[in-house]
Amino acid sequence: MKKTLRYGAIAIIVIILMCIFAGCVDRQTAPALASGETIPIRVITEEFPPYNYAGPDGAVTGQSTAVVQEIMRRTGVSYPIEILPLSEGLEAARTGPSTAIYSLAVTPERRDNFTWVGPIGTYTMTFFARNGSGIQVRNIDDIRSSGPVGVVQGDQRVEVLKENRVTDLSFCTNDTECLLRVAAGEEPLWLGSKEGLAYDLAKAGLAPDAVVPVYTLQQTELFIAFSRDTPANVTDGWQQALDSMYKDGTFHQIMDRWQTPASGISPPEVVGSADQDVILAAVTSLTDTTLEGVHSLLRALASTGDVRSGDPAKIVPVLKSVQADNPDILVWYSYPNGTYFTSNGLVSESLADRPYFPTLLSGTEVLGYPVTSRSTGRLSAVIAVPVTEGGAVTGIMGSSVYLDLLTEKIARALPLPPSLEFYALTPDGHYVIHSVEARILQDPALLGNRTSFGRAIQDILHGGNGTVAYDLEGTSWNATYGTSSFTGWKFVVAEPDPVTT
């Protein structure tokens, strides 16, 4: 049974906000325009939080998305919004037909290629360095001599850097990738946005202080860009709708709702209601985002020359730096024989007899294998990637994610009612996450089919998603479950049945 709850969860808020501003309407071909002509518009955006990005359920959300959806509501249309890589979206918007892309800055190269509607927001270009790197930037000359600057391929920031004669650039597909490279020490600087930093850090699974701002370059206005073949009555209608939002205060209300003192612009603080499906999506999304960030970081480290060297004198400093920035995990490096070391040096135990180790030696990554850490004794989930040279595995770059801290992170981010429980099960039936932390790594699957709870666990383990009901410790529970596409874990949220409590 799905029960309506009230709470202030960030991940769930994004979904609720999307509905508030979009009206939860079905997307369809546009109705006739004022001229009597029906013009379907293709609307494109990119992953660029907090302005536009995919929410926990995959639907597009963000500050600029809220503005665009309100414009469409006022013009009486409802178009699907696609998320594409920026370079692909720009090419589609250049060639048309009748295509819009947001949030885009006007540059000399772009100016004559589009018809512009806006502005719909601003963002501040800021250089970031790894916390503790010691990098100091006094002026743009220091940037030019600092080494490669990470920047998203095709973004307006590339043109701004070239205009400032910063030519040593390292291109990324998105800001999260750039951020991970800087956090891993691969590159000294990343040109990002202070407004989107909190989102990028969360998506990368990094601590809030993993990077620090070292120099602000400029502030830029953002627009909606239409292909030149888009009829003028369409672009004029969108601009008039936006102007009316300025006049009646709606635009500024949207801006205010997405403002927080800590991160510039972020999801608004909304108290709403959602059923178990939404809560489940939020718990799953937050967990997967955290673990995917660790995975991306390990991949980045495994490709560095220091790690690939296999030399402890080079690897241990890397581990120390990463460990300092990521206290919620233990990072380690292992040789193919199972000998391994952490930031504290060589560990006397071996990993060779771990069940997951042969998988790594075969060249396959391990994503979320539950263990009791031999170096710390803590309950952990292993995420590890092979280090390869010439097709052969020469080492393992790994991490042990502390499951109690991961559970606490979820509980802090999603302040759910005390009556609700959430947990995640490995494919073989062990708890890896549980709101009752004492149950982590227990094996409820051992109950088999002997009890209603045991039968429910079997249904969860063998199903993709659905609902179950069971009795446990004298209480009847209703639960919703789903499967993580990243780890394969089964996520569950459960509440006592109000009829029997």
Q: How far apart are CA 72 and CA 242, in angstroms?
A: 10
Rg of the chain's alpha carbons, rounded to an integer?
Answer: 25
* 286, two tokens: 């937050």
Indicate whether 33 pLDDT > 70: no
Domain-embedded: residue 261? yes
Q: Pick the last residue of a domain from 274, 296, 323.
A: 274
Average pLDDT of the residues in 204-224: 86
One domain, residues 135 and 261: yes
Looking at the fold, whether 375 and 465 belong to one and the same domain comes out as no
Ranges 273-287, 345-359, 421-435: which has the least confidence: 273-287
State the distance between the two ends of the chain, measured CA to CA, in whole angstroms.
14
Mean pLDDT, residues 375-383 taken together: 85
More confident residue, 161 or 18: 161
CATH for 66: 3.40.190.290
Within this chain, do residues 167 and 203 fall inside the same structural domain, yes or no? yes
- Residue 424 belongs to some domain of the structure: yes
Q: Residues 270, 283: one domain?
A: no
30 with 170, same domain? yes
Q: pLDDT over 90 for what percent of the chain? A: 48
33 vs 478, more confident: 478
Question: Using an 8 Å Cβ cutoff, are 46 and 89 in contact?
Answer: yes
Region 190-210: mean pLDDT is: 85
Burial 288-305 (b: 16+ CB within 10 A, else e): bbbbbbbbbbbebbbbbe
Lowest mean pLDDT among 69-73, 114-118, 276-280, 361-365: 276-280
Residues 447, 386 within the same domain: no
The per-residue pLDDT for 6 is: 39
Which DSSP string do the residues of 400-418 spell out, in sequence order? EEEHHHHHHHHHHHS---T
Two tokens, residue 395: 């080492």
Question: pLDDT class for 113, splitting at 50, 70, 90?
Answer: very high
Examine residue 66 and state whether it is found in any structural domain, yes or no.
yes
Strand-strand pairing, 42-45 and 81-83: parallel
The two three-digit tokens of residue 420, written as one number: 């609700």
d(CA 185, CA 167): 20
Q: List b or e across 434-466, with b for residues whose CB sees 16 or more CB atoms inside 10 angstroms.
A: bbeeebbbeebbebeeeebbbebbbbbbeeeee
Smallest Cα–Cα separation from 289: which of 396, 401, 370? 401
| 39 shares a domain with 186 | yes
In the chain, how many H helices and how many E strands? 16, 25
| Residue 38, pLDDT score | 54
**pLDDT level of residue 93 (50, 70, 90 thresholds):** very high
Pairing of strands 60-61, 329-334: unpaired
Q: How many domains is the chain built from?
A: 3
Residue where a domain stops, chosen among 239, 274, 309:
274
CATH number for the domain harbouring residue 307: 3.30.450.20
Inter-residue contact 174 to 152 (CB < 8 Å): yes
Which range of residues forms the domain containing residue 359?
A: 278-404
269 and 285 housed in the same domain: no
Q: Is the predicted pLDDT of residue 494 greater than 50, yes or no?
A: yes
Confidence of residue 262 (pLDDT cuts 50, 70, 90): very low
pLDDT score of 367: 94
Neighbours of 160 (CB within 10 A): 18
Is 1 contained in some domain?
A: no
501 located within any domain? no
Cβ atoms of 497 and 469 within 8 Å: the answer is: yes
Domain assignment of residue 180, yes or no: yes
270 with 282, same domain? Answer: no
pLDDT, position 71:
96
Within a domain: 2: no
User: 257 and 211, same structural domain?
Assistant: yes
Of the candidates 221, 245, 274, which is a domain's last residue? 274
**379 lies in some domain:** yes
Say if residue 374's pLDDT is above 80: no
Which of 71, 38, 48 is closest to 152 using CA atoms?
48
Q: Residue 259: its pLDDT value, please? A: 57
- Do 227 and 170 share a structural domain? yes
Are 309 and 231 in a shared domain? no
Mean per-residue pLDDT, 201-223: 85
